[in-house]
Amino acid sequence: MDNRDEVKAFLSSRRAKISPEQVGLQGYNRNRRVPGLRRSEVADLAGVSVEYYAQLERGNLAGASDSVLDALARALRLDEAEQAHLADLARAARPASRARRKPPSPQIGPGMARILELMTDIPAFVTNGRGDVIAANPLAQALYAPMFDEPARPANHARFAFLNPRARDFWRDWERIASDTVAMIRIQAGRDPYDRALTDLVGELSTRSREFRTRWAAHDVRLHRSGVKQFRHPGVGDLHLNFETMALTTDPGLTLTVLSAPAGSIDDDALRLLTSWAATRRADEALATPPPA
């Protein structure tokens, strides 16, 4: 992915989302051929020259200082995720950052593996920035059974969401999940535009999914730290589970996600039922597997 193209598309898309009224410019809507602010208006709000802002929006963020980035964030009303993405794009544009970054570890360390093993009552899994599942405890594999039923490894959240027809039944709020998934991949693309595996994933999804292409073109980014996920599980029915994500400091580039339900709730009962469903499924699979010769 070309950093200059990413910068150009991101800044222009954010500019198009801000109306003159939002930034206190009244009566400026006459004779506007495009939505949002003009470059000159963003430049005035950021306290830079029109020529310099035009240079930035053409994709040249390499020399932009932190103060200029902060001024742009204020002028364009960027939220926390968008500010972080702009900073990532600026870092990637600098010559010292253009060398290929060390990819995240393809596996978790023994300490994290032991933690997942001990998490028997809640689903927990580890992913990288592309949405590849690096490791998952048995309950997470049971919860995401339709995704793990696919033979390809590593299982990938984006491929499942956009390429597997079962995903729309599995996710009760598929539209939100789809948008969140693309927004998180976009964040990763800003952090590491030279990740070949990420470029290949985006190319595959763009080719095979119109829904992905549309969302990818929007250049939206979003943080994914906590919230609620709504499932329609093939074995236990509907679940509403709280999720929390945590970056693994011992495994840079990897993130732990855990899901839970309030004690005594219907969803907590469903998680217990999921444990039994998973055990029954494993037993059936063991019976169906022929013994070694």
- CATH number reported for the structural domain that contains residue 80 in this entry: 1.10.260.40
Residues 143 and 10 in one domain: no
pLDDT mean over 123-141: 95
Residue 18 placed within a domain: yes
pLDDT mean over 230-258: 93
pLDDT mean over 32-49: 88
pLDDT mean over 174-183: 97
Residues 210-242 pLDDT 10s:
999 999 999 999 988 999 999 999 999 999 999
The confidence band for 283, taking pLDDT boundaries of 50, 70 and 90, is confident
The confidence band for 102, taking pLDDT boundaries of 50, 70 and 90, is low
Closest CA to 147 of 173, 123, 119, 166: 166
Residues 147 and 46 in one domain: no
- Please, what is the average pLDDT of the chain? 90
Residues 122 and 168 in one domain: yes
- Could you say which of 47, 62, 97 is where a domain stops? 97
Residues 147 and 78 in one domain: no
For residue 160 the two structure tokens come to 């499942």
Domain count for the chain: 2
Buried b / exposed e over 3-32, threshold 16 CB at 10 Å, is beebbbbbbeebbeebebeebebeeeeeee
Task: Please determine, for residue 28, whether its predicted confidence score (pLDDT) is greater than 60.
Answer: no
Residues 219 and 174 in one domain: yes
Domain that holds residue 181: 110-288
Residue 103 placed within a domain: no
Task: Please determine, for residue 263, whether its predicted confidence score (pLDDT) is greater than 60.
Answer: yes
Task: Please determine, for residue 29, whether its predicted confidence score (pLDDT) is greater than 60.
Answer: no
Residues 129 and 93 in one domain: no
107: left (phi over 0), alpha (psi -120 to 50) or beta: beta
Q: Give the CATH number of the domain where residue 260 resides.
A: 3.30.450.180
Residues 148 and 194 in one domain: yes
Residue 215 placed within a domain: yes
Residues 28 and 166 in one domain: no
